[in-house]
Structure 1
C-alpha cells in the first residue's frame, strides 16, 4: 500500500483538488495519511488538516537553505505528495502537483506581497520533487517554458468532478438552497475568487449589455470570495445592485452541497477567465447539466473539449452574444448540455485518483 502525505491550502482550486484526493485515493488502493504544515491560525475555510509536520514551512525552508543537501526531513511514509508549492527535502520520494506558472508568466495578476516568495518556492519545489504532476497539457508547456522542467519528469493528470454531480440533486433541496439565497432559477452563474485573471469585470460589462428584459428575467450570480485587487470590481457590483440591477454576489458560499445546488439552479454558466491551469468550475457546470460559455484562452479549450461555447475573453460583446445564445436558443442549449455531460463523465475525481496512484507506483518502482 502506498502512504502519500498530502498538504493543501484554502478551499480554492488547490483546496478542492486536495480534498478530492483525500477522499478518492483510498478507492485507488492507496493508504493516505494527511499532513499539514503548522499554521498560527486555522479558520473554518482551511483544508490544512491531519498530522502536523514537526515544524513550520518557513522554518523548514530556512533549514533547507542553510543545511547541506544531504539533510532530509524524516517522513514515515512511502511517498509524500505535495498538492501545492510548499516542498522541502524529505527522506522519501516526493511528488509535486504544480498547477500553473501564473506568478512567473503574469506577475501583474498576483499579489506583490507574495509574488517573489511564491516564484522562489515553485522553482525550489521543482528541483526537490522526484516527479511533477501537471493538471493539463497546457500546464506542461508552461512548466517547461518558465521553470525548465524536464518533460520526462512530468505526468498529466487532469482534475475532475465528483461522480455524484452527474446525478440530479434532490429538487426540494435545490429549491430550499435557492430560496435561502434569494435566487430564482435560470440565472447566469460564474464561480471563482474575485481577482484580475478571473475577468469578472468584463463579464459584468457583458451582462449589462444584455437587453433589460433578459437581465430582469435572468440574474447574474457571482459566487466567490474577494481576492487581491478586487476593490474596484466590488464597488461596481455594489453600485449595480444599488441601481436595482438583478445581480447577486454570494461571497460567503462555502458548503459543497450548497454550491452544487447553486450550479443546478443556473440557466447558463459563464467562465471568461484569462488564465487557468485547468478550470474546475467548467467541469462542475458540465456535470450539473448547465450549458457553458468559456474563454478560449489558456487551458480552457483543452478542458472543455469542444463542449463549451468559446469566446474571446477580451471581447465583452462576444461574451454577451454567447450568453444570449445559450439563454434563448433552445437547440444550442440542448446540444451544449449533452456535450458537457459527456465531457464531465470523462473527467471525474475517481479517474484523477486512479491516474495519480499510477504515478506513485511508477515513482516507487524507479
Structure 2
C-alpha cells in the first residue's frame, strides 16, 4: 500500500538547527521513498510547493563563511514574547488549520515539531523533548504557555508519537502523556558530511575561521541557559593557563534567550585570549569545524537527543558530555560523561580529555563506531514503519 503523507514544514527555514535539521533530513528521504506515493507540505495554515528547494540551493558567490543568523519576524517568534498573543493563537488557529486540511482523510499527517492540528486521518507527532515541563525556567514564559496550552490537545489528536530518544519516551510514559504502545523512540543521526577530514580538507575552513586544526576545544549550540555554556566557561577558567592558551575554547552558536550574562562572560574570556566566539558557522564549514577540534565539550543540562554529540563522533572528534537525560544513551559508551552541575568535575575531565593521548585515540575509535550505527536512512525507514502501521 502506497502512502500519502502530509508533512508539517514550519521548521524548514534557514539556518537549519535542531528541529529544522530533523525535518529537513526526514523530508529529503520521504520525497524519494518507494513507499511514499505523495508527499505534501503544510505550514501555518498554508500549502507549500517545495520548501526544500531554497534550502538545497548552493550559496551565492561571495557568501561569507561565518555570519550571525538573521532573525525572521515569523508569527512564532512574535508569539514567544506575548502570552496574550499565545492565548489568542491557540484559540483561533486549530479551527482554521483543520479547515485548510479538510478532505485528506486517506493521508497521514506528520508534525515533526510537536503540534498536530485537527485532522480527519491518521496523525504522527514527533516530540523532541519535554523541557517546557521539566525545566520551564529555560524558556520564555510565553513559549512555555504555548506548549502547555497546545501539547495536551495535540496529543489527544495524535495517533502515534515518535520521540527522538528512549529517554524522552520514558519521560512521556512516566507522565502518562501517551500509552507506551503508541510511542516509538527513533534516534536521529549525523549527516554524511560529518566525517574525519584530512589536513588538506581542513585547511580552507581553518583559514576562513581563523583556527588551527587540532588546537581548540569546541562547543556547538545555541548560547542559552539550558546549554550550560556559563559553567563550561567557568570550568575552562580552572584549567592551567598554558593549556587554555594551547587549546582555546571555541563557542559556535547563535544568541539564544536570556543569554546576556553568558555573553558578558564570553567577552571577558575572549579579551583574555583563551576563548573564541564565532556566533554562527555557515553549513559549508561546520563539518570541518567539528573535525578540526581536539575535543567537543557538550555539557548541556537537558536534551531530547543532542545532535552535536553524534556529529562530533562521526567527525572523529572525541566528546565530553553530560551524564543526564538522553546524553549517555546517545553517546553509547563512547564519550566522557560529567556532572554538568559540578564545575570542578567538568574542569578535571576537560584537562584529562585534552591532555591524555591514549584516551583521545580510544575515544575517536569508539565515537566513529557509535556514529556509524546511527543514520538518517535508518531513522526514516523506522518512521515509514510507523506510517505503515497506521495505514
- How does the TM-score come out when normalised to structure 2? 0.82
Q: Distance in 2 between matches of 1:197 and 1:354?
A: 31
Residue 13 of structure 1: aligned partner: 18
Residue 3 of structure 1: aligned partner: 4
- Is 1:25 the counterpart of 2:30? The answer is yes
The CA RMSD measured in Å over matched residues stands at 2.6
Number of residue pairs aligned between Structure 1 and Structure 2 = 348
Written as runs of structure 1 = structure 2, the 5 A alignment for 1:143-162 is 143-146=172-175, 148-162=177-191
Q: Is the 8 A contact 1:268 1:292 kept in 2?
A: yes
Q: Distance in 2 between matches of 1:257 and 1:147?
A: 42
Residue 84 (structure 1) shift = 0.6
1:309 pairs with one of 306, 314, 336: 336
Residue 344 of structure 1: aligned partner: 371
- How does the TM-score come out when normalised to structure 1? 0.88
2:280 pairs with one of 249, 252, 265: 252
Residue 34 (structure 1) shift = 2.7
Unaligned runs of 5+ in 1: 49-56
Q: Is the 8 A contact 2:45 2:100 kept in 1?
A: no
Q: Distance in 2 between matches of 1:323 and 1:343?
A: 21
Q: Distance in 1 between matches of 2:364 and 2:197?
A: 16
Q: Is the 8 A contact 2:108 2:123 kept in 1?
A: yes
Residue 144 (structure 1) shift = 2.2
Residues 8/288 of structure 1: CA separation in 2 closer, same or farther (3 Å cut): farther
Which digits, 9 at most, give the CA deviation of each residue in 1:256-291, with x for residues without a partner?
231111101100001101101111110001100000
Residue 330 of structure 1: aligned partner: 357
Which digits, 9 at most, give the CA deviation of each residue in 1:197-250, with x for residues without a partner?
1100010011111111111111101111111110000011112212x2221112
Q: Is the 8 A contact 2:194 2:312 kept in 1?
A: no
Residues 355/191 of structure 1: CA separation in 2 closer, same or farther (3 Å cut): same
Q: Distance in 2 between matches of 1:163 and 1:58?
A: 41
Written as runs of structure 1 = structure 2, the 5 A alignment for 1:290-305 is 290-305=317-332
Written as runs of structure 1 = structure 2, the 5 A alignment for 1:1-366 is 1-6=2-7, 7-9=9-11, 11-29=16-34, 30=36, 31-37=38-44, 61-63=90-92, 73-74=101-102, 76=104, 78-146=107-175, 148-166=177-195, 168-169=196-197, 171-186=199-214, 187-242=216-271, 244-253=272-281, 255-364=282-391
Q: Is the 8 A contact 2:90 2:146 kept in 1?
A: no
Q: Distance in 2 between matches of 1:112 and 1:162?
A: 33
Residue 65 (structure 1) shift = 6.0
Q: Distance in 2 between matches of 1:170 and 1:185?
A: 10
Which digits, 9 at most, give the CA deviation of each residue in 1:177-215, with x for residues without a partner?
121111122210011111111100010011111111111
Aligned residue for 2:149, secondary structure, equals: helix
Q: Distance in 2 between matches of 1:318 and 1:23?
A: 41
Q: Distance in 1 between matches of 2:115 and 2:89?
A: 10
Unaligned runs of 5+ in 2: 47-53, 55-68, 75-85
Residue 35 (structure 1) shift = 2.6
Q: Distance in 2 between matches of 1:66 and 1:359?
A: 27
Q: Is the 8 A contact 1:72 1:91 kept in 2?
A: no
Residues 81/58 of structure 1: CA separation in 2 closer, same or farther (3 Å cut): farther
Q: Is the 8 A contact 1:25 1:32 kept in 2?
A: yes
Which digits, 9 at most, give the CA deviation of each residue in 1:38-83, with x for residues without a partner?
69xx99677x9xxxxxxxx99885356679xx97832657211101
